[in-house]
Amino acid sequence: MSINRSSFALACGTLAGLGVALAQSFPSRPITFVVPFGAGGPVDTVARILLEPMRASLGQPILIENVTGASGTIGVGRAAPDGYTVSIGNWPSHVVNGGIYTLPYDVLKDFEPVARLSHNPYVVVGRKNLPANNLKELIAWLKANPDKATEGTAGPGAGQHVSGVYFQKVTGTRFQFVPYRAGSIDIMRDLVAGHIDLTFDQAVTALPHVRNGAVKAYAVTSPTRLAAAPEIPSVDEAGAPGVYISTWYGLWVPSGTPPEIVHKLTSAAMDALDDPTVRQRLTDLGQEIPPREQQTAEALAAFHKAEIEKWWPLIRGAGIKAQ
C-alpha cells in the first residue's frame, strides 16, 4: 500500500513539474485569438490593434480566427486550457448572450479572465438620405412611420438589438429589426448603401463612416460626448435622456489554464494597452481605456460578474429572446 501511495505521489509530482515547465516555456508556438464576430467589426478591429504589441511581448505570432453566427455564441466556446486559444469578446458576447440563449457553456465558470480592455458607447446612426437631421426629428419620423423603419443588428440580443429595444421603450417608437450574421461590418455596409434605415453601432466601426459623410450621426449612448467625436451630442442633449449603453472588451482563456500562463497573457495585454500607438489608435476610434488597475484579470472578473448582475434581469424583463 505504501508503494502505491509513493508511486501516486511521484506521479503527481511529475505532472506538477511538467505543468510548471510547460507554463515556463509558454508560448512556444503561435497563439490564436478567436473573434466571435466577422472580420472588420468592432471586436475584430480591437483584436488586430493589439496583435503586434502583444506579439512583441510574447515572442510568438498571434493569429485571428473569426467564428461568426448566433450573435457571437458560436465563437465563444471551449478549447484546450493551454493558453494557445484566447477568446476576445465584448459586452454582447460575454454578458448579453447569457441572458438570452441557453448556452453550452457558463460564461463565468468555464472561462478564466485575462484582461479587461477598452470600452465605448454606441452611436445612433442613420442612412445619409434619412429625412431626420437630428435625434428629435428621428424620433418624430419613427413615430409617424411605426414599424416601417429598419434597424440592422447582429441578431437577437446583440448590442444593436438591445440598444434598439431600449430606445423604443424610452421614446415610444416602433421599428423592425434586421439581423446580420457577420454583425457590424455587414450592417454598416448596408446602411451606407441605404438598404436599412438606422442602427446603434459601436463608435469603433461607426465613426469612420460618420467622418466621411456616408451616414448621419444622431447621438452617442452616453451622458457625455466622445472625445474622439465632440461634434456628436450625447443622448441627454439630443432628446433621449438615459439611453446609456456601452460595450466593453476583454480577453479570456478556458478554465483550468495554468495561472503562470494567464499571468503572461495578462501582462502582454496590459503592456499593449500602455503602448502610445495603441492608445492613440483606440482613442481615435472612440475607445476609452480603463486605468491600469482596472485592466487586470481580477478586475475583469469582478466587472464581468457585476455586468451580468445588472443586465440579465433587464434583458429578461424586456422579454428579449432568441428568434
The tens digit of pLDDT for each residue in 244-297 reads 888 999 999 999 999 999 999 999 999 999 999 999 999 988 888 999 999 999
- The 10s digit of each residue's pLDDT in 199-243 is 999 888 899 999 999 999 999 999 999 988 999 999 999 999 988
Bridge-based pairing of strands 85-90 and 31-35 is: parallel
- Whole-angstrom Cα distance, residue 202 to residue 100? 21
Domains belonging to the chain, first-starting first, are 2-119+247-317 (3.40.190.150), 121-238 (3.40.190.10)
Which grid coordinates belong to 126?
442613420
DSSP-assigned letter for residue 174: -
- The 10s digit of each residue's pLDDT in 288-314 is 899 999 999 999 999 999 999 988 988
Answer whether 118's CB lies under 8 Å from 204's CB.
no
Compute how many other C-beta atoms are within 10 angstroms of the C-beta atom of residue 17: 10
pLDDT band at 4 (very low <50, low <70, confident <90, very high): low
- The 10s digit of each residue's pLDDT in 153-198 is 988 778 898 899 889 988 999 999 999 987 888 999 999 999 999 9
pLDDT(21) > 60: no
Residues 202, 203, 204, 210: what is their CA dihedral angle, to the nearest 10 degrees?
120
- Whole-angstrom Cα distance, residue 238 to residue 141? 15
- pTM for this predicted structure: 0.78
Rounded-to-5 percentages of helix, strand, coil across the chain:
45, 20, 35
Bridge-based pairing of strands 246-254 and 111-127 is: antiparallel
Q: Which of 113, 133, 149, 124 is nearest to 259 (CA)?
A: 113
pLDDT(57) > 90: yes
φ, ψ for residue 73 (rounded to 5)?
A: -70, -30
Q: Which of 173, 249, 232 is nearest to 165 (CA)?
A: 173
- Whole-angstrom Cα distance, residue 271 to residue 150? 42
Integer-rounded Cα Rg, in Å, for the chain is 21
Per-residue pLDDT, averaged over 23-42, amounts to 91
pLDDT(5) > 80: no
What is the 3 state secondary structure string of 210-253?
HHCCCEEEEEECCCCCECCECCCCEHHHHCCCCCCCEEEEEEEE
Q: Is 151 helix (H, G, I), strand (E, B) or coil?
A: strand
- Whole-angstrom Cα distance, residue 109 to residue 255? 7
pLDDT for res 20: 56
φ, ψ for residue 311 (rounded to 5)?
A: -90, -35
What lies within 8 Å, CB to CB, of 70 at 6+ separation is 101, 155, 322
pLDDT for res 182: 77
Average model confidence (pLDDT) across the chain:
90
What lies within 8 Å, CB to CB, of 321 at 6+ separation is 100, 156, 157
What lies within 8 Å, CB to CB, of 146 at 6+ separation is 173, 174, 175
